[in-house]
Amino acid sequence: QVQLVESGGGLVQAGGSLRLSCVASGSIFSINVMGWYRQTPGKQRDLVAGISSGNSTNYADSVKGRFTISRDNAKNTVYLQMNSLKPEDTAVYYCNAFLRPEGTYYVRNYWGQGTQVTVSS
């Protein structure tokens, strides 16, 4: 059973920083792309940042220069360092991974349960 578990969300004042972590656990053969998405009530889930297995990254325009995504392949972990946070960054943040479970020949898409980030003004 593969699971993605996020941590690091919380309440922070505008201008502050938070670091989100997401660990992929279970029987995993390989992990391709990992990423972070966010969602606010009544809106679709949007990509915040993604990182490939070769550490190529991409970011939403709204977070460029403020957020940094990174990964530790040995720990099956992806991070999101969020600096200069703004109230409009308030959302539930979801970890996402395209990975190949052990004993299979296909890549599946997995989601974490989400972690709340609230930025007060």
CA dist 11 and 14 (Å) reads 10
Summarize pLDDT for 66-86 with one digit per residue, the tens: 999 999 999 999 999 999 999
Summarize pLDDT for 15-59 with one digit per residue, the tens: 999 999 999 999 999 999 999 999 999 999 999 999 999 999 999
Identify the pLDDT of residue 22: 98
Summarize pLDDT for 92-113 with one digit per residue, the tens: 999 999 999 999 999 999 999 9
Identify the pLDDT of residue 4: 98
CA dist 24 and 42 (Å) reads 28
